[in-house]
Amino acid sequence: MAERRILIDKAEPLLLFGFNDVYLRRIEDAFPETQITARGNQVMLRGTEPALKRIARILDEMVVLVNRNGHLTEKDVETMLALSDAAGGASPMEGAGHNAVVFTPSGGVVRAKTPNQANLVNAARTHDIVFAVGPAGTGKTYTAVALAVAALKSKQVTRIVLCRPAVEAGERLGFLPGDFRDKIDPYLRPLYDALEDMLSIENLSSLMEQNIVEIVPLAYMRGRTLNSAFVILDEAQNATTPQMKMFLTRLGANSRSIITGDVTQTDLPRRSDSGLVQAREILEGVEGIEFIYFDEGDVIRHRLVKDIIKAYEKFEE
């Protein structure tokens, strides 16, 4: 059995350890035959050397979170443990591919927060087309937009194109005030929200004026060829099979694409009409295309969202 002593000098120990050391006890439970003891601002570890290395890396990430957010939650600790498992013993965020996906204007960092978000990050760096399929609140769109912004900033691509189907437009668009742009913007608002977290308002406005960043309805993609672009199709469950084929065949040289959606929430008349449902059957196994499946364990919204998803799944069964 190995022993290690860690000095906590970059974060408040009470915030890091939790009330009555509850966070340390959770980490200890995750590593059988390992003992964790806190004394003041020191942590004593006893166990196998591989386990102690992983615990030390988890504690390092927890210190980063405390300093960034001013607090730590049980969910944060669970996320670090899950990412450590997914990383196979590497640093939790190294298992996600890199320490950060993209830095925000406020000085924050967008990171993979769950194992499947980490899988999406890794898949997007090794495949030209990635499908991210799963329920609401799992960070599919947000992570995809972060990857697109990172690719633009690092000059891997020269433009970003984000699009969504506006399936309700045929029924409701005429009742909304304003011109066509005013009518369609509410359907694209979630994409604006994600971009505004990662780019300053001035920078985003400039990029959109130059068409370096475009946010458009899916119908606007017809007839285009997009070279050196990062293209995202959001809410893909609302695209029909012909629309999905049309979108996928827009990719030009040096372009990449992420398609996100939830096959259980299609607004099309029949679920079988969904191009996302068909794409899984047609494209899974094609080289260069990867499917990442999210579940309720990846939900990072309000804690009740996970319970709501489970309740609906049970009802539908």
| Shared-domain flag, residues 9 and 154 | no
Per-residue DSSP letters for 263-284?
GGG--SSSGGGBHHHHHHHHHT
| Shared-domain flag, residues 219 and 72 | no
Could you give the number of structural domains in the chain? 2
| Shared-domain flag, residues 59 and 158 | no
Place 171 in a pLDDT band, splitting at 50, 70 and 90. Answer: very low
Percent of the chain predicted with pLDDT > 70 = 84
What are the C-alpha distances in Å from 67 to residues 6, 113, 137, 138?
A: 18, 17, 25, 24
Q: Which of 87, 119, 137 is the last residue of a domain?
A: 87
| Shared-domain flag, residues 185 and 291 | yes
Tokens at residue 192, please?
A: 């604006």
Query: What's the chain's average pLDDT?
Result: 82
Tell me the per-residue pLDDT of 95-147, one tens digit each, with 9 for 90 and over. Answer: 433 446 777 776 677 878 888 888 898 888 889 999 999 988 888 999 999 99
| Shared-domain flag, residues 42 and 112 | no
| Shared-domain flag, residues 298 and 181 | yes
Is residue 96 domain-resident? no
Distance separating alpha carbons of residues 259 and 45, to the nearest angstrom: 44
Question: Exposed (0-12), middle (13-18) or buried (19+): which is 31, by Cβ within 10 Å?
Answer: buried
Q: Which of 25, 52, 87 is the last residue of a domain?
A: 87
Kindly report the CATH number assigned to the domain that includes residue 239: 3.40.50.300
| Shared-domain flag, residues 140 and 186 | yes
Is residue 94 domain-resident? no
Q: What is the pLDDT averaged over residues 211-231? A: 91
Distance separating alpha carbons of residues 317 and 300, to the nearest angstrom: 24
Instruction: Give Cα 274 to chain centroid, integer Å.
Output: 23
Is residue 232 domain-resident? yes
| Shared-domain flag, residues 82 and 128 | no
Specify the DSSP element, H or E, that contains 215.
strand 213-217
| Shared-domain flag, residues 61 and 199 | no
User: What is the residue range of 59's domain?
Assistant: 2-87
The answer for 17, left when phi > 0, alpha when psi is -120 to 50, beta otherwise, is alpha
pLDDT at 188 over 80: no
Tokens at residue 40, please?
A: 């003041």
Is residue 289 domain-resident? yes
Tell me the per-residue pLDDT of 47-105, one tens digit each, with 9 for 90 and over. Answer: 999 889 889 988 988 888 787 777 888 877 887 787 776 555 444 444 433 446 777 77
Is residue 95 domain-resident? no
| Shared-domain flag, residues 69 and 131 | no
| Shared-domain flag, residues 35 and 108 | no
